[in-house]
Structure 1
Amino acid sequence: MKKMLVVIALAVVSFANAQKGTVLVGGSVGYSSHNVSNRGNDSKESVFNFSPRVGYQFNDNWTVGGEFTVATAKEEFGNNENKINNFALGAFLRYTLPLNQTFSVFADLGAGFQNQKDEVYNGFVTTTAKADGMYVGITPAIFINVKKGFGLNFNIGGLGYSALSYEHNGPDVNDFSFSFGKAFNIGISKNF
């Protein structure tokens, strides 16, 4: 099954000439869509997320900051519809290693709280389930300094874990992801 994935990433990173005491502002926006048409059994799936971040570079290699994510996923098939809304709030720690004036490598470690609301409509009745939990992840990346602190960021996935516990004796969901080579994100950044 092929999916068309469109990712627009605006991620903030430090750059080779970064100085302590600077502020990083940025984030990411992502969208994906998947449509299947099969003799009247059509299905549509779409996912959207928005993840802004703000950080403070307290020395030439270390940055600490806050992040949050708002995401929604919707799947339609026949008269049925599934909708998932997710909100996450957390912090990140970044270590940057300058290789030269143009290139740097960095790794982000992020962790925080998340909640999720699932709505399932089966053509007659809507069922709602709510869950709370946590997430943690690490993402290595490369930064290319283009001009005066503006640059491009590239990553090809990361390592992550999330846990959700549903209300009213619902299930506990644990998700481990290893996405190296399965994701590709490009972003621009600026250090203020």
Structure 2
Amino acid sequence: MKKLLFAVVLLITTIASAQKNSILLGGNVGYASEKLGDSKLENFEFSPRVGYQFAEKCTAGVEGSIMNVKTTGIDKTEKYKIGGFVRYSTPLSQMFSVFADLGAGYQNTSVNNAKGFYASLTPALFINMKNGFGLNFSIGGINYDNLDGKNDPRQENLGFNFGKTLNIGISKNFGL
């Protein structure tokens, strides 16, 4: 079971560089489980994306995220995000491209009904396999989050996680 969950986490699907005037579909699926003594933390996230490549190297679209976090002995937490993204990609050859995604939007969490803003910058590598299918690889990025709840002080987080994460995904380009 742990191997399956690890495979799901690694098989994070994102949209990739594609041809002008094409629709890009993708998203992330992730699961994490951590046990500390008698306490267990489980985290599940689903993050779909839809984009339109309006120029040879530029894509814009919308992204969302639903995250559920369960901790033994504590209520379940749900977190939602909705926003937009832009992508700039540069082909290195017919097979390889590099790209950077810049995303930003609104977020809400069920803990004290906290609301706020998020932003992220993620560089990645795309490998073109065949017929619009490809593999995406990223090893982290820069993330900013802020949340302001009714009974809690404002929380701000700035994360720089290059080399601390590995995302591997598949993507499909749908030409118009």
> Normalising by structure 2, what TM-score?
0.91
1:166 to 143, 149, 164: 149
Counterpart CA distance in 2 for 1:188 and 1:52 is 13
SS at match of 2:113: strand
Counterpart CA distance in 2 for 1:68 and 1:46 is 20
State the 1:36 CA deviation: 3.3
Runs of at least 5 residues in structure 1 that lack an aligned partner in the other structure: 119-128
- More helix per residue: 2
Moved over 4 A (4+): none
What residue number does 1:19 align with?
19
State the 1:20 CA deviation: 1.2
Runs of at least 5 residues in structure 2 that lack an aligned partner in the other structure: none
1:33 matched to 2:33? The reply is yes
% identical aligned pairs:
50
State the 1:183 CA deviation: 0.5
What residue number does 1:153 align with?
136
What residue number does 1:125 align with?
none
Counterpart CA distance in 2 for 1:51 and 1:164 is 19
State the 1:28 CA deviation: 0.7
2:82 to 89, 102, 106: 89
1:183 matched to 2:176? The reply is no
State the 1:83 CA deviation: 2.4
User: What does residue range 1-192 of structure 1 map to in structure 2 within 5 Å?
Assistant: 6=6, 7=9, 8-14=11-17, 18-37=18-37, 42-76=38-72, 80-118=73-111, 129-168=112-151, 170-192=152-174
State the 1:74 CA deviation: 1.2
How many equivalent residue pairs?
167
Q: RMSD value over aligned CA atoms?
A: 1.2
Counterpart CA distance in 2 for 1:82 and 1:9 is 27
State the 1:19 CA deviation: 2.3
SS at match of 1:101: coil
Which is greater in Rg? 1
SS at match of 2:12: strand
